[in-house]
Amino acid sequence: MIAASRKMFYMHKKIAKGEWTFFRPQADLGIELKNKTLGIFGLGRIGVQMALRCRGAYNMKVIYHNRKPAKDPEKLLDASFVSFDELLSQSDVLSVHSALNNETKGVFDQSAFSKMKPTSIFVNTARGAVHNEKDLIDALNSGKIWGAGLDVTNPEPMDATNSLLSMPNVAVTPHIGSATEEARGEMSRLAALNIVEFYKNNRIPKVVNPETLTMVKPGLNT
């Protein structure tokens, strides 16, 4: 979000090309985030953390769209549940934190982007298939939206010639949201804990899909 709003990746490339010369007050301006509206698509654990940071750093108003209202996060963030169309039309930054499923696949398409503000920034750190990449490129080129920040792409990995990589107001990273030594170490620890607990106590402490536990038993090749 920050990198896209300030054209950071594009400006870094200009330095590397030797194009950083004198101060030009009106050149390559970004968009201010302070006091803007953050729209969250999928207000789960990660969406809540995004919203907390945006409220704390930029005093952003938080709106969100889920399949159903999330009462506890609403109270924590003073957030408002809105329809999908309202999320599109009201968000200055629209950040995607949903799972990828039949309901969310391709939901951010030409129709969705056309309902967003021409000054808005689209952020997807969830799964690339939630947005239609051709439609996103068209929306950026036509000015339907102002910018985009992506940690996931569609398809993934992204082709090196993709036009998103050369757009001034787009920031793309190669799916590195959890790419720190601490995070990956903790992921490994939890995986090991799950294995040990399953074989010792027939339980999995950290499980995403608990319904599968009725299908397996310790000691079996599953």
Active-site annotation, residues: 127, 156, 175
Q: How far apart are CA 61 and CA 41, in angstroms?
A: 14
Q: How far apart are CA 93 and CA 123, in angstroms?
A: 7
Q: What's the burial of 15, exposed, middle or buried (CB within 10 Å: 0-12/13-18/19+)?
A: exposed
Q: How far apart are CA 70 and CA 68, in angstroms?
A: 7
- Give Cα separations from 181 to 151, 178, 185, 188 (angstroms): 18, 9, 6, 11
- Give Cα separations from 66 to 44, 104, 160 (angstroms): 9, 11, 34
